[in-house]
């Protein structure tokens, strides 16, 4: 299961010896010399070239206030003079003023929203939002599309129309026939990835971290200020492990568990357990508002209403496009973000009253987004499959997920099917990076986490906190939104501002009360809300 991109609002010369000595993801625990040399060389070239900023491409759909450019990186850092790929980058300059007060520029803040497979090109647009204005006054806001994403040497593993084909089934406890069907699909997908992408093995977390250092150099930054959300926390942590002397400030928002033993198979099993808990949170909320939705006065009754809809869609897809698979995907988003709760409950209620339109609007695939969705999934699959070894015997997957589905049925098997191509992957696998730094190697770093986050379960934030001495964990207690920085919680935002603007962190772990619970929407208010929520 992808650790989805978190939503918001909803340079200098390099020292070769430092890179050679920095720990990384090889079996020996040190950076392989060819890649280390290639990274230094690529960064030196990027520093000399800089970034030529200009109007953004029409495909980026960004306003004129955002400027765009590209940075060249080697496809293979062991061969820095070989094939180069271009990463697209976006930027707005620091406003240098907030509420009529002059503010000193602190450099560039680079952001990655996660995935793997998500683009951060939109990031500079957040500067106009109230939660970001103080940060946008002090920093250039820099987003980019990582390798493989968007126009950055994009990956594709199958025809986008095939990828978004609908309707589909989504059995909670699949039978043997369905399992054989999904195995065949996973094998076909893995073959398609290998056939369509000759450089597939170079799309890894290690290379994402190296690319980030080249981007730092191209921006003219001697040290990196970075904020990563979701998967962005993992390769940010890998970056900190590889290049600790290049870090100025780092924010890890909704942290992936970086324990090498967790990457990635076990992380996905843990994720399925956590989604079961978040699914229960949603059903409790719906039951609490039964007078509005009439889906049941208890979580069990709400589940019965959901399963009734699922059963009907299995026989007669809504609008010919929304089957159980599309229903599952739509309600999974409610596990990521509780601002989806009102619209999802409204759609379920309307369907049971004979009006399928809200559910179709929220759950049917959008043809215009097919290319982007397929591309994002291709990058997600390539990075996770390349990063680590996965079980290659389906019997192991079958055993683990069958057991798990007995206690966590909501997401378990859909999560397994999404990752199953890794069982049949032909590209060489890497040994996961042993994330961690020595005491004093890093400046203080900030970790943000919601206690009931399902996409990146809370244990991951605690594990990252243990592995990065000097890091401080800020917890939003009792909440489960994925990506909490610059969101609705003023306490969390206060810690974020204090860190990015002043470099200060709490003396030890800090806790924030949960943000305000979602309110049910009815009548005109519900109708006015965008249906893609």
Stated as kind and residue range, the H or E segment containing 45 is helix 33-49
Stated as kind and residue range, the H or E segment containing 362 is helix 357-363
Give the residue-averaged pLDDT of 332-344: 97
Per-residue pLDDT for 530 more than 80?
no
Q: What is the pLDDT of residue 493?
A: 98
Angle at 405 between CA 401 and CA 411, to 5 degrees: 90
Q: What is the average pLDDT score of the chain?
A: 93
Q: What is the pLDDT of residue 525?
A: 53
φ/ψ of 466, rounded to 5, equals -70, -35
**How, if at all, do strands 139-144 and 224-229 pair?**
unpaired
Per-residue pLDDT for 531 more than 60?
no
Q: What is the pLDDT of residue 532?
A: 55
Give the residue-averaged pLDDT of 179-204: 97
What are 395-404's pLDDT values in tens digits? 999 999 999 9
Tokens (6 digits) for 412: 């378990």
Spatial separation of the C-alpha atoms in residues 154 and 159, rounded to whole Å: 14
Spatial contact of 314 and 169, defined as CB atoms under 8 Å apart: yes
Q: Name the DSSP class of 433.
A: P
Q: What is the pLDDT of residue 52?
A: 98
Q: What is the pLDDT of residue 522?
A: 72
Angle at 506 between CA 505 and CA 511, to 5 degrees: 125
What are 103-113's pLDDT values in tens digits? 999 999 999 99
Per-residue pLDDT for 133 more than 90?
yes
Q: Name the DSSP class of 124.
A: G
What are 1-42's pLDDT values in tens digits? 666 677 654 422 222 222 223 333 333 344 457 999 999 999
What are 212-240's pLDDT values in tens digits? 999 999 999 999 999 999 999 999 999 99
Q: What is the pLDDT of residue 20?
A: 29
Query: 0.85 exceeded by the pTM?
Result: yes
Q: String of b and e for 442-453 (b: at least 16 CB within 10 Å)? A: bbbbbbbbbbbb
Residue 101: CA count within 13 A, CB half-sphere:
6
**How, if at all, do strands 445-450 and 471-476 pair?**
parallel
CA 224 → CA 220, 240, 457, distances in Å? 10, 10, 27
Q: Name the DSSP class of 184.
A: H
What are 482-507's pLDDT values in tens digits? 999 999 999 999 999 999 999 999 99
Q: How confident is the model at residue 267 (pLDDT cuts 50, 70, 90)?
A: very high
Q: How confident is the model at residue 533 (pLDDT cuts 50, 70, 90)?
A: low
**Residue 123: is it exposed, middle or buried by C-beta count within 10 angstroms (0-12/13-18/19+)?**
buried
**Residue 528: is it exposed, middle or buried by C-beta count within 10 angstroms (0-12/13-18/19+)?**
exposed
User: Which positions are catalytic?
Assistant: 230, 453, 482
Question: Per the omega criterion (within 30 degrees of 0), is the bond before 167 cis?
Answer: yes
Q: What is the pLDDT of residue 30?
A: 45
């Amino acid at each position: 299961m992808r650790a989805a991109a978190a939503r918001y609002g909803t340079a200098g010369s390099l020292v070769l010896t430092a890179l050679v000595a920095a720990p990384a993801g090889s079996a020996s625990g040190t950076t392989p010399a060819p890649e280390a040399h290639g990274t230094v060389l690529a960064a030196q070239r990027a520093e000399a070239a800089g970034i030529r900023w200009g109007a953004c491409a029409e495909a980026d759909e960004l306003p004129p206030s955002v400027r765009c450019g590209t940075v060249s990186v080697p496809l293979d850092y062991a061969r820095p003079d070989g094939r180069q790929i271009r990463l697209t980058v976006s930027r707005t300059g620091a406003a240098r003023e907030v509420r009529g007060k002059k503010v000193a520029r602190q450099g560039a803040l680079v952001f990655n929203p996660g995935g793997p497979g998500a683009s951060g090109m939109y990031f500079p647009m957040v500067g106009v939002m109230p939660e970001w204005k103080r940060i946008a006054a002090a920093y250039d806001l820099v987003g980019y599309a990582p390798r493989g994403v968007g126009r950055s040497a994009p990956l594709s593993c199958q025809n986008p129309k095939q990828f978004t084909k609908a309707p589909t089934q989504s059995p909670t406890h699949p039978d043997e026939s369905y399992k054989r069907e999904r195995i065949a699909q996973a094998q076909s997908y893995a073959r398609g990835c290998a056939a369509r992408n000759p450089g597939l093995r170079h799309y890894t977390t290690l290379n994402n971290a190296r690319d980030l250092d080249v981007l730092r150099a191209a921006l003219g930054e001697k040290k990196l200020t970075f904020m990563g959300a979701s998967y962005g926390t993992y390769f940010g942590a890998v970056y900190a492990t590889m290049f600790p002397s290049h870090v100025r400030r780092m924010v890890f928002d909704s942290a992936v568990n970086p324990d090498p033993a967790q990457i990635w198979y076990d992380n996905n099993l843990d994720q399925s357990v956590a989604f079961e808990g978040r699914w229960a949170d949603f059903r409790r909320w719906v039951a609490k508002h039964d007078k509005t939705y009439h889906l049941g006065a208890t979580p069990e009754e709400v589940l019965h209403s959901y399963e009734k809809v699922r059963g009907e869609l299995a026989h007669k897809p809504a609008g010919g496009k929304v089957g159980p698979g599309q229903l599952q995907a739509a309600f999974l988003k409610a596990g990521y973000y509780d601002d989806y709760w009102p619209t999802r409950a409204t759609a379920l209620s309307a369907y049971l009253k004979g009006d399928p339109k809200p559910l179709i609007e929220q759950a049917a695939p959008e043809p215009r987004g097919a290319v982007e969705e397929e591309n994002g999934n291709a990058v997600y699959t390539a990075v996770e499959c390349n990063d680590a070894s996965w079980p290659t015997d389906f019997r192991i997957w079958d055993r683990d997920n069958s057991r798990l589905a007995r206690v966590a049925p909501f997401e378990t098997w859909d999560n397994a099917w999404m990752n199953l191509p890794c069982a049949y992957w032909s590209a060489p696998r890497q040994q996961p990076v042993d994330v961690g730094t020595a005491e004093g190697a890093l400046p203080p770093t900030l970790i943000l986490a919601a206690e009931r986050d399902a996409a990146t379960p809370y244990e991951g934030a605690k594990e990252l906190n243990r592995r990065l001495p000097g890091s401080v964990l800020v917890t939003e207690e009792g909440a489960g939104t994925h990506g909490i920085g610059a969101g609705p919680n003023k306490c969390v935002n206060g810690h974020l501002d204090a860190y990015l603007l002043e470099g200060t962190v709490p003396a030890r772990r800090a806790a924030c009360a949960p943000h305000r619970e979602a309110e049910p929407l009815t009548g005109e208010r519900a109708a006015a809300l965008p249906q893609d929520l």
